[in-house]
Amino acid sequence: MTTTTTTARARARALEGLAHADPSVRLRAALAVGSDPAPGSVGPLVERCATEPDFSVREMLTWALTRHTPAATVPALLPELRSARGQARSQALHTLSKIGDRAAWPAITPALLADPDDEVARAAWRAAVVLVPEGAEPALAVGLAAQLGRGPRETRLSLSRALIALGDAARPALDAAADHADPEVRAHALATEVLRRDPEAGFEFAVEEAKRIVALGGEDREGR
């Protein structure tokens, strides 16, 4: 048996292991696939990402994909962003953010940034701030700011972090949102600004400070 044949059989066994009932076996299989990257492994990895129920295994699948070339992975991931399955969209976005190839930027659409599935939207926000090309940050900030006031604590914190990651480019959008008619939007914008100024403050403190400022009618805002 040639070395090539042995390697091919090992790869085939690893790919079969991705569908095993035991998550520990799937985890080892994903590790094996990533440790021996081959173009033929990309499709099965992407396919498994859409259905894998175990978080640790999903993270290993993403790692395995990052071990392959962007030229092989990005084209395979982009169609997943249009999937009807929320996990397929969110995991593809997460993986694209880890790959970091800005060629994927045009696929980060306003629809994904506003996806009704919070997990998908959060993944889109994280991917967007990684992939945004130079000069497009202000427009992205406007798109992100349109989601202020959305969802529970973890969703709001994810959005705040994304806006903060854009730096000064997010200031005009946050300033505009701080005058929004919706008090939830105003409070979230102000909490984001508190966190931007003092990252050590913590989100809970930032929210309470924002509520206080909203109750005062914005009189205590910095520079106002």
Question: Which of 116, 67, 127, 68 minimizes the C-alpha distance to 92?
Answer: 127
pLDDT at 204: 66
Residue 2, pLDDT > 70, answer: no
* Res. 6: pLDDT tops 90: no
Contact indicator for 195, 165 with CB cutoff of 8 Å = no
Local confidence band at 211 (pLDDT 50, 70, 90 cut-offs): low
Tell me what pLDDT residue 7 has: 79
- Distance in angstroms (rounded) separating the CA atoms of residues 157 and 203: 7
What number is the average pLDDT over the span 108-135? 98
pLDDT tens-digit map of 154-190: 999 999 999 999 999 999 999 999 999 999 999 999 9
pLDDT at residue number 16: 96
Integer Rg of the chain from CA: 21
For the segment 50-76, the average pLDDT, to the nearest whole number, is 98
> Residues 8-40: pLDDT tens digits?
888 999 999 999 999 999 999 999 999 999 999
Question: What local confidence, expressed as pLDDT, does residue 195 receive?
Answer: 87
Q: What distances in angstroms separate CA 192 from CA 61, 167, 199, 202, one per listed residue?
A: 32, 12, 10, 10
Does residue 145 carry a pLDDT above 80?
A: yes
**Does 222 have pLDDT greater than 60?**
no
Q: State the average pLDDT for the chain.
A: 91
Contact 126, 94 (CB under 8 A): yes
Q: Are 197 and 221 in contact (CB under 8 A)?
A: no
User: Distance between alpha carbon 98 and the CA centroid of its chain, in Å?
Assistant: 9
What's the pTM? 0.88
* pLDDT value at residue 223: 44
Quote the pLDDT of residue 224: 41
Q: Comparing 49-58, 77-86, 108-117, 193-202, which segment has the lowest mean pLDDT?
A: 193-202
pLDDT at 120: 98
